[in-house]
Amino acid sequence: MMLSLSELGLGAVMTHALYKPIAQKNEAKVKALMQYFAKVYKIIFVIFIVIGISIIPYLNFFIKDPPNINESFEQIYLLFLFTTAITYLFAHQSLFLMASQRQYIVTTVNYTVTIIQSCLQIFFLFQTKNYIHYLIIQVLGSVLQFFLIAYIVRKDTDHHTVEKYNLTKVDKSQIFRNVWQLSLGRISGFLVNGTDNIIIAKFIGVVSVGILSNYVLLIKTVENFILSLMGSISAGIGNFNAVSDKLSTSKLFNNICFIAFVCYGWISLAFFICSNDLILLLFGENYVMNNTICALLCLNFFMSGLINLVGTFMNSLGVFTKGRLVVIFTAIFNVVLSVLFGLSWGISGVLAATAVARLVTNWWYQPRVLFKYGFDKKPTTYFLNYSYFLIIIITSILIGTFLSSVIQFEFNLIHTLSKLLISSLVFFLCVYLIYRKNDEFKYMYDKTKQILESLIARKVS
């Protein structure tokens, strides 16, 4: 993740630059932008490889207690390096599909290849017990994904004959200015989201990173799925904004934000209730962490999810240049507090530091920027909804845990499911009672009804 900083926000700038010419069907400018970004990404690829290789002599610095394993750290690192590097040679084609509101193509290819790749990895891991083979399959899977996407894009665009279009100096300077502004956000994002494992490995131990990764894997799987959905709608948001006024865009944000509150709220609740029992069932008691760590993981998941949504709208509306300094403060606070809290309270301290750093900086500042410059409004309703949902989540967990403790089941999994069921009922009941008359609730209800009716119609046909 640290090395992937070399992209520095170019992807968001590229998709934003493509929204208008795609909406206007200006194929000449689209092609010129694609060729320009392809050259830039090739330069990034070379820089990425050079910096990545230069870090190899310092790998042991980041690990407090290196584990005794057969595989070479250098070999593992190089395979991960190449897996990430290859994405830059094909990134412009994936981003073109996203800007064209065809994210579903990228998602379909990625999930199909990932399923095949995972099956092969499991098979070879059982047969050879060799992690290097596992990573080689991962590299080949990444290469296959991007070759397929590149083939689809070229097949779709090569038959178009368009007049030559040269990007002006103004176009290029605007792109570089936007990349510079976004790069600060990307560096901040890494220092907030990507340094926890490094700090834990350095000051607490790499074994703790491994145990924590079991929980992170569960929550990241869901988070990545949601982010893929957000990626698919970001192009739609950009195109919608290009032809709509600020009032219409703010209504769209309120509708999507309400759905995000419900989804992230319920997933946070479910993760807190089920994660420890699931880890106990899969890996054993030695890999179970305390409820404080689970609660902090849920809080960070909830906060980052909603911050990502705000960021998606900021990028799509072109207001990502605002608030440059706050992202730097977020990064500095997180690193300093993570070290201080981590030395005092271990993993809980590192996770708490991330939540505190977000809370005092971009948690309140980014929504303020979005509403001020994107919608010409104040974010009062947004923060009220945030508070309501936190109260609903905590209340649902407490009631579900209490009621399920009254009815004990011999089988642990049934007891966990009963807690989840009761807490979920309380959660959705509270949402219904509080928001049933709101336009956002009606929007979510109508969309859910449409999706269910569509699924039922497909099965019938």
pLDDT of residue 10: 63
Q: According to the model, what pLDDT value does residue 9 have?
A: 58
User: Judging by beta carbons within 10 Å of its beta carbon (0-12, 13-18, 19+), is residue 54 exposed, middle or buried?
Assistant: exposed
CA–CA distance, 25 with 84 (Å, rounded to integer): 32
Burial class (CB in 10 A: 0-12, 13-18, 19+), 321: middle
Structure tokens at 177: 């200015």
- Listed in sequence order, the residues at least 6 apart from 59 whose beta carbon sits closer than 8 Å to its beta carbon are 73, 74, 77
Encoded tokens for 398:
């407490």
> Which residue's structure tokens are 């609730």?
441
DSSP 168: -
Radius of gyration of the chain from its Cα atoms, rounded to whole angstroms: 23
Token readout for 363 is 């948690």
pLDDT digits (tens, 9 = 90+) for 159-174: 455 556 667 776 777 7
Token code pair at residue 384: 């009220």
pLDDT by residue for the chain (461 residues), tens digit each? 444 444 555 666 677 677 778 777 777 887 888 888 888 788 878 888 888 888 888 777 766 666 666 777 788 888 888 888 887 787 778 778 877 777 778 888 888 988 899 899 888 888 888 888 888 998 899 889 888 888 888 877 654 555 566 677 767 777 666 666 656 666 666 666 667 888 888 888 777 888 898 898 888 878 877 776 666 666 677 677 767 788 888 999 999 999 999 999 999 999 999 898 888 888 888 889 999 999 999 999 999 899 888 988 887 777 766 766 777 788 888 889 999 999 999 999 999 999 999 899 889 999 999 999 889 989 999 999 999 999 999 999 888 888 777 766 666 778 788 888 989 999 999 999 999 999 999 999 998 888 888 878 776 66
pLDDT given at position 264: 92
| 18 CB-near residues (< 8 Å, 6+ apart) | 30, 33, 95, 96, 99, 100
pLDDT at 19: 73
Q: For residues 81 and 86, give the distance between their C-alpha atoms in angstroms, rounded to a whole number.
A: 9
Rounded Cα gap, residues 377 and 188, in angstroms: 26
Q: Which pLDDT score, from 0 to 100, does residue 159 have?
A: 45
Whether residue 342 contacts residue 349, with contact meaning beta carbons closer than 8 Å, is answered with yes
Query: What is the reported pLDDT for 351?
Result: 94
251 class by beta-carbon count within 10 Å (0-12 exposed, 13-18 middle, 19+ buried): middle
Tokens 């209730």 locate to: 273
d(CA 380, CA 20): 31
For the chain, helix, strand, coil in percent to 5 are 85, 0, 15
